[in-house]
DNA sequence: CGAAAAATATACTAATGGGTATACTTTTTG
DNA sequence: CAAAAAGTATACCCATTAGTATATTTTTCG
């Protein structure tokens, strides 16, 4: 690996840390440069602008997150129930870390809500879709019918749990979300999509 | 109503509009003053700082939103099913307005994620709790058992739907959330969906 | 080695931010 | 009416921001 790539990585990692911790707008370029042990001039040699840096950071992290999810998450989970339970257990652990600053992608999307054309938005959108699809595949291979709809609804619960956790800081909301997800799963699995009249 | 109060209201309304549209950090004080047709000096005579302005705006809007919810939302909804369906239908309409910029409170909370002590955070937290409680009461009076848990889970779905709608802009996610909410309701309501009155 | 490429250090810019100061005009009110 | 209260207009302060310029040093590599 060339030296330049290593520096790129250092900058990208530091930027990601700061963006997630303090948000995009409140993270200064000088700050990012200092945190990566690099001169601002060097930073601008690698990334043309702060927005471009954000876009590249998001793309990099999306790839990393997807790989982690693909390989590490519930690697040999059997039942759909296990998959769902693991998903929310991991979420709870993650969201309980000391200075947890919420879901990175959703936070960034919220921060850029008035800039629908920003490249980072498209990346966040694609990343979310990929995760949703991945979960759907896991559920399908665990024998769940209508796995797409269920995966989508579970992601809705995940998003809601993260935002609510960010607002309230109360892990009970994650438990409630997990419970709801399992109810939904049970509903689908037993073939009773709609309430019996 | 005194003149001063009218001006306060104008400032507060303009600030709310801008905060929701562009976020807190990207809304300048000069901009807010101009939008409310008021001098910056006057703005500072009414609100000591930008943060204080945010806090007061959030408090005001929370009260307004709660009143609207209390009186206008599903005023004579009978069954719990109707309540839930109406809730998501209204959400879908709201989120489909032209320049919809996401859920105000959650967005602000996300923006201030690294400042847990900010007064606006506490207001957002309380507001969310009040809404959740209100929904629980509605559900309870419609004969739903364990209405607290159900209300909480429905709010999780609402939050998730809003954030996802903000990211994807696809109303299908709201339909998916509505469907999930109804499945949860069917699961809880062990056969009793009675209509009071 | 020796030269090009890449990084550093430092200083700069132009704009923007929140917040304040001063002098003047309008509105309210005793 | 008269004076205080409230608002306007305008200019200013100081810190911070993204991004650039220049000159110097370090690293890479033929």
**pLDDT per residue as tens digits for the range B92-106:** 999 999 889 998 899
Mark whether A38 and A65 lie in a shared domain.
no
Q: Which nucleotide is nearest to A39 (CA to C1')?
A: C8
Q: What is the average per-residue pLDDT within A88-113? A: 92
| CB burial of residue B193 (10 Å; 0-12, 13-18, 19+) | middle
Mark whether A28 and A99 lie in a shared domain.
no
Cα(A187)–Cα(A192) distance, integer angstroms: 5
Query: Does the pLDDT value for residue A62 go beyond 60?
Result: yes
pLDDT band at A192 (very low <50, low <70, confident <90, very high): very low
Mark whether A160 and A126 lie in a shared domain.
yes
Mean per-residue pLDDT over chain A, rounded: 91
Mark whether B165 and B110 lie in a shared domain.
yes
Q: What percent of chain B lies above the pLDDT cut of 70?
A: 91
Q: Does B168 touch chain A (CB under 8 A)?
A: yes
pLDDT band at A76 (very low <50, low <70, confident <90, very high): low
Question: SS3 letters for A16-30?
Answer: HHHHHHHCCCCCCHH
Structural domain containing residue A3:
1-48
Q: How many domains does chain B have?
A: 2
Query: Does the pLDDT value for residue A14 go beyond 90?
Result: yes
Mark whether B37 and B72 lie in a shared domain.
no
Nucleotides of D under 7 A from a protein CB: 6-11, 16-23, 27-29
Q: A37 in the Ramachandran plot: left (φ > 0), alpha (ψ -120 to 50) or beta? A: left
B197 in any annotated domain: no
A197 in any annotated domain: no
Mark whether B35 and B89 lie in a shared domain.
no
Mark whether A64 and A139 lie in a shared domain.
yes
B195 in any annotated domain: no
CATH number at residue B84: 1.10.357.10
B33 touches strand D (CB under 7 A): no
A196 in any annotated domain: no
B64 in any annotated domain: yes
Query: Does the pLDDT value for residue B1 go beyond 70?
Result: no
CATH number at residue A42: 1.10.10.60
Cα-based distances in Å from A103 to A80, A111, A167, B143: 24, 12, 12, 36
Mark whether B22 and B76 lie in a shared domain.
no
Mark whether B88 and B176 lie in a shared domain.
yes
A195 in any annotated domain: no
A3 touches strand C (CB under 7 A): yes
Mark whether B127 and B74 lie in a shared domain.
yes
Predicted local distance difference test score (pLDDT) of residue A47? 97
Length B6 CA → C29 C1' (Å): 18
DSSP symbol at A74? S
Query: Does the pLDDT value for residue B170 go beyond 80?
Result: yes
Query: Does the pLDDT value for residue B194 go beyond 50?
Result: no
pLDDT digits (tens, 9 = 90+) for B23-82: 999 999 999 999 999 999 999 999 999 999 999 999 999 999 999 988 877 666 689 999
Q: Does A182 touch chain B (CB under 8 A)?
A: no
Mark whether B122 and B64 lie in a shared domain.
yes
List CB contacts of A77: < 8 A, sequence separation 6 or more: A83, A86, A138, A142
| Nearest CB neighbour to A110, from listed B128, B152, B166 | B166
Q: What is the average per-residue pLDDT within A100-116? A: 91
Length A11 CA → D19 C1' (Å): 17
B19 in any annotated domain: yes
Q: Does A153 touch chain B (CB under 8 A)?
A: yes
Mark whether A132 and A161 lie in a shared domain.
yes
Query: Does the pLDDT value for residue A78 go beyond 90?
Result: no
A158 in any annotated domain: yes
Question: Residue A105: its chain B contacts at CB < 8 A?
Answer: 167
Query: Does the pLDDT value for residue A195 go beyond 50?
Result: no
Predicted local distance difference test score (pLDDT) of residue A158? 97
pLDDT digits (tens, 9 = 90+) for A131-168: 999 999 999 999 999 999 999 999 999 999 999 999 99
| Nearest CB neighbour to B21, from listed A21, A114, A195 | A114
């Amino acid at each position: 690996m060339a030296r330049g790539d290593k520096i790129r990585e250092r900058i990208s990692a530091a930027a990601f840390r700061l963006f997630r911790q303090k948000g995009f707008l409140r993270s200064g370029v000088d700050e990012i440069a200092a945190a990566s042990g690099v001169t601002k001039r060097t930073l601008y040699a690698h990334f043309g602008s702060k927005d471009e840096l954000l876009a590249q950071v998001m793309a990099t992290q999306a790839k990393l997150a997807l790989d982690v999810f693909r390989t590490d998450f519930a690697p040999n989970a059997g039942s759909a129930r296990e998959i769902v339970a693991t998903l929310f257990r991991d979420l709870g652990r993650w969201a309980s870390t000391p200075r947890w600053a919420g879901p990175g992608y959703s936070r960034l999307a919220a921060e850029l809500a008035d800039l629908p054309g920003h490249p980072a938005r498209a990346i966040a959108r694609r990343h979310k879709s990929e995760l949703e699809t991945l979960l759907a595949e896991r559920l399908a291979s665990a024998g769940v019918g209508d796995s797409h709809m269920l995966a989508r609804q579970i992601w809705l619960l995940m998003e809601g749990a993260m935002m609510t956790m960010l607002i309230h800081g109360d892990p009970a909301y994650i438990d409630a979300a997990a419970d709801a997800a399992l109810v939904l799963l049970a509903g689908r699995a037993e073939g009773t999509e709609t309430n019996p009249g």
